[in-house]
Amino acid sequence: MEKDTVVNIKIEKAETSKINEVDFSNLSFGSVFTDHMFICDFKNGSWQEPTIIPYQKLSMDPSAKVFHYGQAVFEGMKAYKDDQDEVWLFRPDENFHRINKSSARLAMPEFPEEYFFDGLNQLLKLDKQWIKKGFGNSLYIRPFVIATETGVSASPSTEYKFIIICSPAQAYYAGEVRVKIADHYSRSASGGFGFAKAAGNYAGQFYPTSLANKEGFQQVIWTDSNTHEYLEEAGTMNVFFRIGDKLITCPTSDRILDGVTRKSVIQVAKDLGIQVDIRPIKVVEIIEAAKNNQLKEIFGSGTAAVINPILGFGYKGDKWELPKLEDSYASTIKNTILGIQYNTIEDKYGWRVKVD
Amino acid sequence: MEKDTVVNIKIEKAETSKINEVDFSNLSFGSVFTDHMFICDFKNGSWQEPTIIPYQKLSMDPSAKVFHYGQAVFEGMKAYKDDQDEVWLFRPDENFHRINKSSARLAMPEFPEEYFFDGLNQLLKLDKQWIKKGFGNSLYIRPFVIATETGVSASPSTEYKFIIICSPAQAYYAGEVRVKIADHYSRSASGGFGFAKAAGNYAGQFYPTSLANKEGFQQVIWTDSNTHEYLEEAGTMNVFFRIGDKLITCPTSDRILDGVTRKSVIQVAKDLGIQVDIRPIKVVEIIEAAKNNQLKEIFGSGTAAVINPILGFGYKGDKWELPKLEDSYASTIKNTILGIQYNTIEDKYGWRVKVD
Ligand SMILES: Cc1ncc(COP(=O)(O)O)c(C=O)c1O
Ligand SMILES: Cc1ncc(COP(=O)(O)O)c(C=O)c1O
């Protein structure tokens, strides 16, 4: 990352590494963490000295505001190691700007750019051996901010912690995914904070998703909370529909996360000569297309899996299966993005950013 | 509380009390906590042994799900001490049922009734000297549940902590309150979890409220996220409107918290011979009534203040002031409810429950 300023980060190294206890061929997503974490406190109106310390528990007062009023935002990004042992990030500026957008909507202070990038850089250098080579392997990076002021009164916290933790990951395979299109429950409101990567946007999805699971669907595609007629996004993915040769995805809004993968998919698809329509999509349009065999693909886009093909969907009791395609848009686009991420193809976009 | 079962609660008493350090005549709401807390862990599919321990910090893994996916619900209730030093709760069954409703919507396990009531009872007995006599004094009680399983994958936690902390409170005076009626931002979606007392419902309100503050309003009254034409509730209060001699409040829904004070106000008002209409209320209706001098009162209802008179409101740039009334419904109803809470009048409803 070629940032000019270098922040003074106090580093306390772990005495021993846990890396030998980890079976890198058998990782469950997001469950093992590296030796170090980045942490920076906000108090008295400003961010204090950033530090890197051994991964460790936090001492939290039971009245800390994050537990009661939900001021918590996060990001999800990955680092990749190429064959020359170089470590790369993918469009990290996007994550940096997004976490601050999320924070602002939740009345939380924005984090300084140089703290973010210098902190991330130094953390990744320290835990570099946790990033394994090979297509699919990566280090999942989780920056997050939580409100730590004590006191059970419903007002914005005056104290926060900005933290980065990292978890080694293998290729993400979500299994066969069929989705239920929401017809009753919703994820977010117009005028709400659905566009923010805020903790409060996730807990509400678990129960409706568990109901969908019982009907045989792995995930839910959320629709607008007003009419349930328009397709929006999935729990942790934006969604794309291929009708005939066109790729369609809905516009972002204050209800929808502006996914980094989504915007990369749109760009790559266009450059592959695919027509991409960004416009509201009605559920009935998808169902009509499915009936006429024009619905060729549905896929989700997100950092974890890049692209997740969706094999079928259900809506109000009816179910549809999608055709199995040889040359899917999903796999072509995914391979291009993976190639950029793992430094195996040219990156004409400047999306790949070296850690050094 | 006359519950039959007595749960085995392991009690570890604080070695010394902090009570002498507290200035009870100068308390800031929700900032000082009593000597003990109730805590019970959920793991391996069940609630473990409940304990009461000295109030202390929690040791939390940075990847605990509450920080990332917002599984956190809470309650707010109060204990009151009468002139005979007896301690009373107000409709605690309502809070118990509501926290479990909130938990269920967030895919969190429900808490057993006898654990809740025995835990609360024993905690209040232990910290009884923190409850001061005198109208207005109370002990604010904050039960809450947080997801503690480690791991950054967006799925329901398998581990939780149920905690009760208590904070001594004086009469709650919010100062002069004028409200902004929301015309852009929203609190919750149809099909969402606005009815739950979930942490995720609060953080999103702070930023829009800060904008309202800049326009001279202390709070926001939320409207439906779809049209912003219907009045719903305030940040931590349900709202009532008096037009002529009628008291009007909107029905509860999946977007609105089913307030214990709200239902008590409705009951008390009816028994005082006041006509109470529970129906959707349009913003334009309130504005018309204000123009015709028929809008006599607006007040919020909630555990903290019981009833909070609202002196004026604004909508899309226009502002209205309400008349100053001698015999307001607000004060008559508030005095009745306070009388029941402090055991100074008969409680024909059976709302007052003794702690012993
Ligand atoms: C709600 C939601 N939508 C979409 C996405 C995809 O965003 P990105 O491509 O930036 O990972 C995510 C995050 O992964 C998400 O949490
Ligand atoms: C959003 C919201 N509405 C209304 C209320 C009032 O509910 P209750 O009367 O049960 O305190 C509260 C809580 O105090 C609240 O948080």
What digits encode the pLDDT tens for the residues B105-121? 999 999 999 999 999 99
Task: Count the Cβ atoms, other than its own, within 10 Å of residue B213.
Answer: 13
Ligand closest to CA B308 = 2
CA distance A346 to B196: 50
- Got the DSSP string for A193-207? STTS-BGGGTHHHHH
Task: Count the Cβ atoms, other than its own, within 10 Å of residue B164.
Answer: 23
Choose the CATH number for B10-171 among 3.30.160.620, 3.40.50.2300, 3.30.470.10, 3.40.710.10.
3.30.470.10
Residue among B62, B167, B203 minimizing CB distance to A200: B203
Task: Look up residue A105 and give its two tokens.
Answer: 């909507």
Give residues with Cβ within 8 angstroms of B289, minimum separation 6.
Answer: B241, B243, B295
Contact residues, chain B, for A172 at CB < 8 Å: none
Pocket test for ligand 2, best of B236, B263, B306 (most atoms within 8 A of CB): B236
The answer to whether the beta carbons of residues B94 and B262 sit under 8 Å apart is no
Q: In chain A, whose CA is at the least distance from the CA of B222?
A: A191
CA distance B212 to B214: 5
Q: Do A31 and B150 touch (CB under 8 A)?
A: yes
Q: Which residues line ligand 1 (CB under 6 A)?
A: A 76, 197, 233, 236-238, 257, 259-262, 301-303
The answer to whether the beta carbons of residues A187 and A194 sit under 8 Å apart is yes
Q: Tell how far the Cα of B254 is from the centroid of ligand 2, in angstroms.
A: 14
CA distance B239 to B237: 6
Measured in angstroms, the CA of B335 and the nearest CA of chain A are apart by 24
Please give the pLDDT value at position A257.
98
Q: In chain B, whose CA is at the least distance from the CA of A184?
A: B191
Q: pTM score, two decimals?
A: 0.97
Walking along chain A (356 residues) 10 residues at a time, the average pLDDT comes out as 66 98 95 98 98 98 98 98 97 98 98 97 97 95 98 97 98 87 98 98 98 97 97 96 98 98 98 98 98 97 95 97 93 97 97 95
What number is the average pLDDT over the span B142-167?
Answer: 98
Nearest CA to ligand 1 atom 13: A236
What digits encode the pLDDT tens for the residues B50-81? 999 999 999 999 999 999 999 999 999 999 99
Q: Do A154 and B202 touch (CB under 8 A)?
A: yes
Q: Where are the domains of chain A?
A: 10-171, 178-341
What number is the average pLDDT over the span B194-204?
Answer: 98
Please give the pLDDT value at position A175.
82
The conformation of residue A133, written as its DSSP 8-state character, comes to: -
Measured in angstroms, the CA of B150 and the nearest CA of chain A are apart by 7
Q: Do B67 and A71 touch (CB under 8 A)?
A: no
Contact residues, chain A, for B75 at CB < 8 Å: none
What phi-psi label fits residue B49: left (phi over 0), alpha (psi between -120 and 50 degrees) or beta? beta
| Number of CB pairs, chain A paired with chain B, less than 8 A apart | 234
Q: Do A203 and B200 touch (CB under 8 A)?
A: yes
CA distance B221 to A227: 23
Q: Do B68 and A184 touch (CB under 8 A)?
A: no
Q: Tell how far the Cα of B259 is from the centroid of ligand 2, in angstroms.
A: 5
From residue A298, how far is each of A161, A252, B113 by CA, in Å?
Answer: 38, 18, 46
CATH 3.30.470.10 fits B178-341, yes or no: no
Residue among B185, B200, B225 minimizing CB distance to A204: B200
Q: Tell how far the Cα of B92 is from the centroid of ligand 1, in angstroms.
A: 40
Residue A18: exposure state from Cβ atoms within 10 A (0-12, 13-18, ≥19)? middle
In this prediction, residue B102 has a pLDDT band, given cuts at 50, 70 and 90, of: very high
Question: Which of A144, A190, A218, A222 should one mutate to test binding to chain B, selecting the residue with the greatest count of B CBs within 10 A?
Answer: A190
* Beta-ladder partners of A147: A160
Please give the pLDDT value at position A6.
65
Instruction: Name the residue with tokens 């008390």.
Output: B268
Contact residues, chain B, for A155 at CB < 8 Å: 206
Please give the pLDDT value at position B259.
98
Q: B246-250 long-range contacts, Cβ below 8 Å, gap at least 24?
A: B246/B274, B246/B275, B246/B276, B246/B277, B247/B274, B247/B275, B247/B276, B247/B277, B247/B329, B248/B276, B248/B277, B248/B278, B248/B279, B248/B281, B249/B276, B249/B277, B249/B278, B249/B281, B250/B278, B250/B279, B250/B280, B250/B281
Question: Which of B69, B105, B123 should one mutate to test binding to chain A, selecting the residue with the greatest count of A CBs within 10 A?
Answer: B69
Nearest CA to ligand 2 atom 6: B302
The answer to whether the beta carbons of residues B247 and B316 sit under 8 Å apart is no
Burial A322-343 (b: 16+ CB within 10 A, else e): beeeeebbbeebbbbbbebbbb
Residue among A28, A184, A207 minimizing CB distance to B107: A207
Q: Tell how far the Cα of B149 is from the centroid of ligand 1, in angstroms.
A: 22
Task: Say yes or no to pLDDT of B5 above 60.
Answer: no
Q: Do A204 and B106 touch (CB under 8 A)?
A: yes
Residue among B63, B188, B200 minimizing CB distance to A33: B63
Give residues with Cβ within 8 angstroms of B116, minimum separation 6.
Answer: B96, B99, B143
* Beta-ladder partners of A144: A74, A163
